């Protein structure tokens, strides 16, 4: 089965190149396409955080990872499959990030902490609700904690 997705919005920010770290202070604008009006955002400012689902449009088909590899090609980290990491070279090129909603201006959201470069197509926007967050303690391996040390700083 195949299906087609169309962007609902696009990202605008100062990050023009794909980089792995220092996303925490990035402020982005997410502007709806002309298919939507600001009514699509009615009530969104009642939420502090949003999940932004986006498409890694700069990843070529040749870059997609199908085998286990060392995250960031760092041999100090164990080989893991693409579904055991959050790398961009995913089979369907879909990313998701929880961001802080700073404001809404008509058809534009201003958010902080979106790890998507300028021009990235947005597939969906969902409000973060406590009831959908992880239940219980979140477990993760040490290598992933090491990778994330500078990701948001």
Bridge partners, 109 (sequence order)? 30, 104
Q: Which domains does the chain have, with CATH numbers?
A: 9-130+139-148 (2.40.30.70)
- What is the reported pLDDT for 23? 66
Q: Tokens representing 105?
A: 């201006």
How far apart CA 115 and CA 99 sit, in angstroms, is 9
Cα separations (Å) of 30 from 59, 65, 81, 143, 151?
Answer: 20, 28, 31, 32, 21
55-93 pLDDT tens trace: 999 999 999 999 999 988 889 999 999 999 988 999 999
pLDDT means per 10 residues, the chain with 153 residues, are 95 84 81 96 98 96 93 91 91 95 98 95 98 92 86 72
Give the SS3 label for residue 61.
helix
- What is the reported pLDDT for 82? 92
Q: Smallest Cα–Cα separation from 92: which of 55, 143, 50?
A: 55
Q: Tokens representing 54?
A: 């986006």
């Amino acid at each position: 089965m195949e299906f087609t997705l169309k962007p609902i919005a696009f990202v605008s920010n100062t990050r023009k190149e794909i980089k792995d770290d220092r996303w925490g202070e990035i402020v982005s604008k997410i502007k709806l396409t002309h298919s939507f009006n600001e009514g699509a955002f009615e009530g969104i400012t009642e939420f502090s955080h949003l999940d932004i689902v986006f498409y890694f449009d700069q990843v070529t088909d040749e870059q997609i990872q199908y085998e286990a590899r060392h995250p960031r090609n760092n041999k100090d980290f164990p080989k893991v499959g693409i579904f055991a990491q959050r790398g961009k070279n995913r089979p369907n090129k879909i990313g998701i990030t929880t961001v802080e909603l700073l404001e809404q201006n008509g058809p534009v959201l201003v958010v902080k902490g979106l790890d998507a470069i300028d021009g990235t197509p947005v597939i969906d926007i969902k409000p973060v609700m406590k009831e959908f967050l992880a239940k219980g303690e979140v477990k993760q391996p040490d290598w992933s904690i090491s990778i994330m040390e500078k990701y948001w700083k």
